[in-house]
Structure 1
């Protein structure tokens, strides 16, 4: 490597002694070979032996291998110019292989870096990054503290923080584009350096630099599925600006609140996130920063429009629209992104309001803006929004088409978390149309992917939904198994929303196994826990109704079903409103009040006979059976038509089950069996 040659037995003996002193360590041998640029073999051998003796301390003896390495490093150190010594010491602040530009910026001398390469003290890897072996880095770090003025270390850390935070901030848009995976991998490879730069800047008051990097840091945590790490980082960072008293710290606090709220929403319910954003919005207004205010309103609108706070979502988006119409000064690309996000949220609001055509139009508009901005992640989000609309109206062909489009983008960008989400939506679509085996294939794909990347959240969701899928198929034993696995995972993850869903599912499983007191206890726990989750609270009340009805507590059952129905009307879930209406019908039937049962069943009957679907209902066939019973009790001739529709649904779903055992289980489920033997 060095180009230096030796002759004869003496040279060979020197080489053997040097290699023996270095205990055959590749790093030491490489450093020794590089040192032959400045000394010959006998000199190198003599210098090393002297250094090893100097390092030997019988009272505190380091490992022989480390003494040898330190000896060759000390020998090489003596041959370096003063500039190169300082360069090596300054480069020790880097924790992992770093871009060449970072190394040059930190040491401030290209010539010194070349000398470090020549002497094998630093290495240029195949990917172009600069790397110091950990032993070299630690040794150089000790020299930085002991051999130089403290200002040199300060300069090194300052340059390190400046370069890595600027690099992170500049990668924000690229992380959303076609090269997202490559950019993320480079950043994650330098995660220790980014973290060190982040905390150095916080402790030294470099507020502007940290503030500029917040959106990109949030995006990196989000796109990589590292929500917990991001929450911990931002929560710790907020402590540095808990009482902001200058504009720079106020800006930083708002950006940190926005980032933490976004990651918090993905981990737990929206209540904590809303509190953060409710602080961020007025602070952004006080700063008179329209772009920052628009971002805070956008995140709050996202929480309110796609979560549980639909009533206030419109007001927040109206405020956002006014801010956007004030011609905010920002790059055109960023404006497209903001507008795309706004119209996607408007699509969600229209969907919740039952205005499906407008929802489609707004989602298409959002997609066009995302395409103009070349924001592939946002394009995929728009496909998911379009899929949601078509799923709601029962058009599963188009819904699946858009989900597959989104999945393709996420696969190309290698966004594992997003892939698991789309697989889950594909599975839910399959469950809704009664294609249980296809749904379970999607869930298992989601599960495998989640386990491969260590995403406990996605693994938990897959088990929850596998439990629901098997329950709908009538395979109650398998359903309970997956729900219990989900509960065990939930104890590790600590997600309130998921825990509420699991409690509701356990109630339904207990009900199907005729353990109605237990079912009632689970349902009540779910309802209490879902105080800020109206959609789940409605399930809790509905399942309370099931248990109370089975226990003969009719007045309480009726009240529970009414509460579920009211919530579902408020959040505009028409199919689930019919499911609660079916519960009320069963109460009337149990009271032998045929006329009231017919009155309550009429909206369901009219919906079914008009060709309406029940996609998304928890117990589709039970709704059919309830409507049929109410009609029979009143000798209504429409009973046969409803029964025929129910027959068709059972036959269609049974025919999709290729496994004979699964088909038998499905056909023997209580209401499926009753339907097929009636008439």
Structure 2
């Protein structure tokens, strides 16, 4: 089939789906005009030519789709869009000549009329009048099919538009066969025949592909630096500077010798208002919605639509975003415009007001819409917050701080919240606001499990008497959490009581709920605070506090062996956490559900819950949940007789708890380690583990019950009747003043001591203990 298609100078990578789609469309007689759109250097011309080549092969049994030929017309260097100039360009490419005195357009029509032909008009974006010319051609040549490439659509009724984005980028180190990687590697090997795809270079290649978002021209320009720079340096430079993406190769079109030139070509086609909007859009992080861009940049929907059509920005699910390289280009334009400070101030004002406006909803029974609204703007909120801190907008920060704290707590972004507030403090002089921000930082720090840093920050607070009542309450809460974690019961109780008193005085429901829950826990759930907790539960209209009360109610229930109640409370709290995408709290609740399902004997479901807890912990970088899971899962292994697996888990758990200085968890891990060694009949190691557990927190005697039961059992197994009796006596004496926590697999200890008592001839005591165990079991089942 007659054609003038240029030869391929480099291999064609990827685009298989796009190529198939384009070829199928062109094969249909109903398709008259198809336009490929996208940024310059995105591969529009290469794709158009690849599709066109499908129609120049002649087949004996199949009539050709375009018997009159396939003609490629490059308009990149055409400067005028008048009818005669465009027609002459077509004639030149197709090999036609006008008759004497014949207009060029008439010659084109004469040359192309008759049988079907395909005309490829390449690079139409800078020729606005070409739209009318194309419409005229289609009207006068009914057998003509036009394939156009442009940075924006022609907006004709017959037009079918196919937009091109970058080539697919690798998802991980195993995904090296995607088109962007294969293209980058091929270009690197053209420059250096010794280049090989090795594990050492894969991370840098992935970084380049992802940063450039698979933009073919950008990948080619980046590869051009391989002779001068290590790949790791190229990977870092493309993130920070668009200037690195350039070449001086003479056989590359001047408009494609740098990404900056490509983008500048599109920029010059914009109106002044559109240029201003594009520059201003670089202020946003992670995109923005229409309300924000209208309020901050005074943009119109028409102008934004034009920027989308010209492929300079993207619009998806109501948000406007831009390619990283377009962002760098637009950022340069904003800096040079002199508008940067005005735009930044409007930006900070908008997002801090947005944060403040959501405060009421965040502290209500229905915070999810507010959380979702703020989650989509988290990057913008962070940037606006830091700008306001750096530029002294202290009133706006103070007004927005409660909403910021609750938002980060709901999402479980404890580390992110702590990092943001730590950075904020570098801009805030000594003031009540500085103390509020420090206390908020302390809250996130201790929620991340970093108690040493929490203590250090608490010690940096000014004297108690200089703090407001709310600040004193927050400080007491944080000190109480630290001492609770470290097993310092008396000190913890003192601070919980101070926090509760202040919370009552200022009617702070959240602090009241936390303090009451923790004090009831320290009192071994003796009911002292239960009436007030129940009353608070009826009054509170705050989902965060209600979830905390559900979590606590689950704790009470499992302690008293009401396992099904505990499961229901924690399942409710988990559903709230999953809906809020609060992965950190979800991880904790999956771990709790693992514990309660284990005690219900639902071992498979228990293991699945522990696996979920670990999965969420990894996904949300919530590492300290692992030590909780290991201890609980090891108990499950003990109950299933998988003692070696339990030992392996507990050795890791003991070390993690010791490193964290959370003594309570360390005690439980040593106890369970004793159980596992006892199951393996390694009596000496089991006794060491039990004895060590009893020495860590001597002022919490209820924790000694499991160890005493285990020691009695081991001594009996070893034939040491004297010591077995002594440990049984200590066990029974302790049981008069305390009880087993339901999560501690009490049936195991009851069974061991009952077996020892029977073996020692103490049948009455054995029956009494067995009756107590059965009574507890009946309560649990009920």
Structure-2 residue corresponding to 1:73? 266
Does residue 377 of structure 2 align to residue 251 of structure 1? no
Does residue 572 of structure 2 align to residue 405 of structure 1? yes
Contact 2:356 2:400 in 1 (8 A): yes
* Mapping for residues 305-316 of structure 1, pairs under 5 Å: 308-316=487-495
Structure-1 residue corresponding to 2:216? none
Which residue of 279, 304, 323 corresponds with 1:89?
279
Shift of residue 367, structure 1, vs aligned partner = 2.3
Does residue 459 of structure 2 align to residue 260 of structure 1? no
Could you give the per-residue CA deviations for residues 374-396 of structure 1, whole angstroms, max 9, x where no partner exists? x2232111011111112111222
Does residue 666 of structure 2 align to residue 536 of structure 1? yes
Which residue of 692, 696, 699 corresponds with 1:570?
699
Structure-2 residue corresponding to 1:233? 420
Shift of residue 353, structure 1, vs aligned partner = 1.1
CA distance in 1, matches of 2:733, 2:443: 42
Which residue of 328, 335, 340 corresponds with 1:138?
328
Does residue 288 of structure 2 align to residue 98 of structure 1? yes
CA distance in 1, matches of 2:514, 2:414: 23
Structure-1 residue corresponding to 2:634? 467
CA distance in 2, matches of 1:628, 1:388: 30
Structure-2 residue corresponding to 1:40? none
Shift of residue 340, structure 1, vs aligned partner = 3.8
Shift of residue 601, structure 1, vs aligned partner = 1.4
Contact 1:348 1:359 in 2 (8 A): no
Could you give the per-residue CA deviations for residues 501-556 of structure 1, whole angstroms, max 9, x where no partner exists? 4xxxxxxxxxxxxxxxxxxxxxxxx5xx57552552475489689989x99989x9
CA distance in 2, matches of 1:542, 1:446: 20
Which residue of 647, 650, 656 corresponds with 1:500?
656
Structure-2 residue corresponding to 1:298? 477
Contact 2:414 2:444 in 1 (8 A): yes
Does residue 498 of structure 2 align to residue 319 of structure 1? yes
Could you give the per-residue CA deviations for residues 2-42 of structure 1, whole angstroms, max 9, x where no partner exists? xxx999984996992434889x9988224x879xxxxxxxx
Which residue of 758, 763, 768 corresponds with 1:637?
763
Contact 1:542 1:564 in 2 (8 A): no
Does residue 456 of structure 2 align to residue 275 of structure 1? yes
The secondary structure found in structure 1 opposite 2:743 is coil
Structure-2 residue corresponding to 1:349? 519
CA distance in 2, matches of 1:137, 1:480: 53
Shift of residue 349, structure 1, vs aligned partner = 1.0
Contact 1:174 1:183 in 2 (8 A): yes
TM-score, normalisation: structure 1:
0.67
Q: Check 1:181–1:454 CA distance in 2 against 1; reply closer, same or farther (3 A cut).
A: farther
Q: Check 1:473–1:6 CA distance in 2 against 1; reply closer, same or farther (3 A cut).
A: farther
Contact 1:360 1:389 in 2 (8 A): no
The worse-fitting range, judged by mean Cα deviation, of 596-605 and 401-410 is 596-605
Structure-2 residue corresponding to 1:200? 387
CA distance in 2, matches of 1:642, 1:545: 24
CA distance in 2, matches of 1:324, 1:471: 43
Contact 2:504 2:512 in 1 (8 A): no
Larger radius of gyration between Structure 1 and Structure 2: 2
Contact 2:483 2:492 in 1 (8 A): yes
Shift of residue 215, structure 1, vs aligned partner = 4.2
Q: Check 1:284–1:343 CA distance in 2 against 1; reply closer, same or farther (3 A cut).
A: same
CA distance in 2, matches of 1:456, 1:362: 34
Structure-2 residue corresponding to 1:621? 748
CA distance in 1, matches of 2:674, 2:448: 27
* Mapping for residues 326-475 of structure 1, pairs under 5 Å: 326-327=505-506, 335=507, 338-370=508-540, 372=541, 375-447=542-614, 457-458=624-625, 461-475=628-642
CA distance in 2, matches of 1:646, 1:320: 38
Q: Check 1:66–1:394 CA distance in 2 against 1; reply closer, same or farther (3 A cut).
A: same
Structure-2 residue corresponding to 1:289? 468
Shift of residue 257, structure 1, vs aligned partner = 2.6
Q: Check 1:499–1:164 CA distance in 2 against 1; reply closer, same or farther (3 A cut).
A: farther
Could you give the per-residue CA deviations for residues 478-512 of structure 1, whole angstroms, max 9, x where no partner exists? 4356568xx5xxxxxxxxx87434xxxxxxxxxxx
Q: Check 1:483–1:531 CA distance in 2 against 1; reply closer, same or farther (3 A cut).
A: closer
Contact 2:631 2:672 in 1 (8 A): no
The secondary structure found in structure 2 opposite 1:16 is strand
CA distance in 2, matches of 1:184, 1:26: 43
TM-score, normalisation: structure 2:
0.59
Q: Check 1:357–1:19 CA distance in 2 against 1; reply closer, same or farther (3 A cut).
A: same
Query: What 5-or-longer segments of structure 2 have no aligned partner?
Result: 1-33, 35-80, 91-118, 128-146, 157-245
Contact 2:485 2:661 in 1 (8 A): no
Contact 1:344 1:366 in 2 (8 A): no
Q: Check 1:192–1:593 CA distance in 2 against 1; reply closer, same or farther (3 A cut).
A: closer
Which residue of 102, 121, 130 corresponds with 1:16?
121
The secondary structure found in structure 2 opposite 1:357 is coil
Aligned residue pairs total 557
CA distance in 1, matches of 2:478, 2:514: 12
Contact 1:531 1:537 in 2 (8 A): no
CA distance in 1, matches of 2:303, 2:719: 95
Contact 2:476 2:498 in 1 (8 A): yes
Does residue 708 of structure 2 align to residue 581 of structure 1? yes
Structure-2 residue corresponding to 1:504? none
Which residue of 256, 260, 265 corresponds with 1:63?
256
Q: Check 1:312–1:436 CA distance in 2 against 1; reply closer, same or farther (3 A cut).
A: same
Q: Check 1:483–1:446 CA distance in 2 against 1; reply closer, same or farther (3 A cut).
A: same
Contact 2:496 2:519 in 1 (8 A): no
Q: Check 1:70–1:325 CA distance in 2 against 1; reply closer, same or farther (3 A cut).
A: closer
The secondary structure found in structure 2 opposite 1:92 is helix
Contact 2:754 2:766 in 1 (8 A): no
CA distance in 1, matches of 2:503, 2:120: 73
Shift of residue 622, structure 1, vs aligned partner = 5.3
Could you give the per-residue CA deviations for residues 129-160 of structure 1, whole angstroms, max 9, x where no partner exists? 444555554333222233x33xx212222222
CA distance in 2, matches of 1:413, 1:472: 34
